[in-house]
Amino acid sequence: SKKVAVLAVQGAFIEHERALGKLGCECVELRQGPDVDQAFDALVLPGGESTAQAKMLRELGMLDTLRNRVAAGLPVLGTCAGLILLAQNVEEGVPAAGDPAGPVAAGATAPGAFGTLPVTVRRNAYGRQLGSFHTVAPCAGLPGVPDGETTDIPMTFIRAPFIKEAHEGAKVLARVDDRIVAVRAGNQIGVAFHPELDDDLRIHQLLVSLA
Ligand code: GLN
């Protein structure tokens, strides 16, 4: 069975482990620096608070090893905050209350902690009113879906980013209201929503199929 590492320093990682368990994967939690030294077939970067996650990745000494492995082709799924970590460019939206990064000016840009996924992401993109919502939208590139076709999947958004621009090498998999919410670039999958919170396992299946 495939061994999938799940970043477990902050955020919604248990739900990913549950989904991956249903697919027969063995999950290992990355909590401490030395946890990244073992071998694994794929990586999940969960939702949560991207600034807190980035800080912990650096402080625990995990970031360089993980970034190098992703750059070398380790399959990775970044969801919500995880997508922000992967993004080459992150633009600040409405500042989140209690953000550990402190007040960051709306519109400021910086690379994500990994910076390996060729997209520009807008953080906290939906504002406070429409902070969280659930929808169903067509998604391409999932296992069993022929090229050029899509299948509807459930999508739960929680203070989500959207992908403002997919750069060269990033294939758009899904849009909601004309905003890009899922991409794939090589072995990197980035989604703005939380597939681990719905019963549909196909986004996780896509990750496992790359491992
Ligand atoms: N708003 C969070 C961030 O900017 C992401 C929210 C989430 O992962 N559900 O990091």
What's the pLDDT score for residue 98?
64
pTM for this structure? Answer: 0.95
Domain assignments of the chain as residue spans, ordered by start: 3-210
Cβ(89)–Cβ(139) under 8 Å?
no
The third-level CATH classification (topology) of the domain covering 3-210 is: Rossmann fold (3.40.50)
Cβ(184)–Cβ(170) under 8 Å?
yes
What's the pLDDT score for residue 157?
96
User: Residue 151 is which amino acid?
Assistant: T
Q: Give the CA diameter of the chain.
A: 45
Give residue 99 CA to ligand 1 midpoint distance, Å. 10
What's the pLDDT score for residue 105?
74
Give residue 8 CA to ligand 1 midpoint distance, Å. 15
What's the pLDDT score for residue 41?
98
Give the CA-trace dihedral at 90, 140, 167, 40, to 10 degrees: 70
What's the pLDDT score for residue 8?
98
Q: What is the DSSP letter of 33?
A: G
Nearest CA, atom 2, ligand 1: 49
Residue 126: band (very low, low, confident or very high) from pLDDT cuts 50, 70, 90 = confident
What is the dihedral sign for C-alpha 24, 25, 26, 27? negative
Residue 129: band (very low, low, confident or very high) from pLDDT cuts 50, 70, 90 = low
Residues having CB within 6 Å of any atom of ligand 1? 47-50, 80-81, 84, 96, 123-124, 158-159
- The atom number, within ligand 1, closest to the CA of 53 reads 10
What's the pLDDT score for residue 102?
64
| Pairing of the two strands 26-30 and 76-79 | unpaired
| Percent above pLDDT 90 for the chain | 87
Best of 10, 90, 134, 158 to mutate for ligand 1, by most ligand atoms within 8 A of CB?
158
Tokens 């990244």 found at: 36
Known catalytic residues are 80, 194, 196
pLDDT(202) > 90: yes
- In this predicted model, what pLDDT tens digit does every residue of 16-70 receive, in sequence order? 999 999 999 999 999 999 999 999 999 999 999 999 999 999 999 999 999 999 9
pLDDT(103) > 70: no
14 is in an annotated binding site: no
- In this predicted model, what pLDDT tens digit does every residue of 162-183 receive, in sequence order? 999 999 999 999 999 999 999 9
